[in-house]
């Protein structure tokens, strides 16, 4: 939105990012963000009605950078088998979620998330990931290495499975991000391919 891209909006975001980095997301209040940014709380709440909205806005920029990194990987690995590329993509997705666990905790506990759950599949990051997965599945099918699956259906399921709340739950159970990524791929990616040597 244009109002979030203006100078004051950027100052709020920069201030929030610095405070989150210094104190952690959960320990920073909206009052603290407003005071540090040198604005009134009313001004802050008009632009960002909740801390989770600030987190969502900051996460959008991180997600954009992440998608650019995935694009670069996919371009540079065109000669790698589709199974290995899909495994790498899904591992990167899970590790990316892991980097912002505290932010995700705050966002998942917000009421605003309820508004977005029903249209998750329409969000650009989800659509991007689903299309990349579908492309890799189609490529594997052309090469004869994909089990008989519907690539459209499977791409939706694979893109929706590495959910932040599940990753948080597994982390709380003691799994590392690397273990979660490995078990995810072993359970949901590897079985899709005729030749299972995807590493």
Residue spans per domain, the chain: 1-49, 52-192
Instruction: Give the angle 119-161-179 at the CA atoms, nearest 5°.
Output: 145
Q: Give me the residue label for tokens 């891209």.
A: 5
Taking only the tens place, the pLDDT of each residue in 137-191 is: 999 999 999 999 999 999 999 998 777 778 889 999 999 999 999 999 999 999 9
**Fold designation for 52-192:** Tetracycline Repressor; domain 2 (1.10.357)
The C-alpha atoms of residue 64 and residue 22 are separated, in whole angstroms, by: 23
Checking if the pLDDT of 195 tops 80, the result is: no
- pTM for the model: 0.74
Q: Which fold has domain 1-49?
A: Arc Repressor Mutant, subunit A (1.10.10)
pLDDT tens-place string over residues 15-39? 998 998 888 888 889 999 999 999 9
Query: Phi and psi dihedrals of 113, rounded to 5?
Result: -60, -35
Q: What is the pLDDT of residue 131?
A: 95
As a whole number of angstroms, the distance between CA 147 and CA 121 comes to 25
Q: Residue 1 pLDDT > 50, yes or no?
A: no
pLDDT tens digits, 97-138: 887 776 666 665 555 444 544 556 677 788 899 999 999 999
Return all residues near 105 (Cβ < 8 A) that are at least 6 apart. 25, 26, 168
């Amino acid at each position: 939105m244009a109002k979030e891209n203006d100078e004051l909006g950027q100052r709020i975001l920069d201030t929030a990012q610095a405070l989150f980095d210094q104190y952690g997301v959960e320990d920073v209040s909206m009052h603290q963000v407003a005071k540090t940014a040198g604005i009134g709380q009313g001004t802050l709440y008009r632009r960002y009605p909740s801390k989770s909205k600030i987190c969502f806005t900051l996460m959008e920029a991180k997600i954009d950078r992440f998608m650019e990194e995935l694009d670069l990987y996919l371009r540079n690995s065109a000669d790698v088998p589709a199974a290995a590329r899909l495994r790498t993509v899904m591992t990167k997705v899970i590790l990316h979620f892991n980097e912002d666990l505290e932010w995700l905790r705050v966002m998942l506990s917000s009421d605003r998330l309820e508004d977005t759950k029903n249209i998750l599949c329409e969000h650009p990051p989800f659509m991007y990931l689903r299309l990349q997965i579908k492309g890799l599945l189609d490529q594997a099918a052309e090469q004869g290495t994909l089990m008989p699956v519907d690539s459209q259906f499977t791409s939706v399921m694979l893109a929706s499975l590495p959910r932040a709340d599940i990753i948080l739950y597994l982390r709380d159970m003691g799994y590392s991000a690397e273990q979660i990524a490995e078990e995810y791929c072993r359970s949901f990616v590897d079985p899709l391919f005729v030749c299972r040597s995807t590493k």
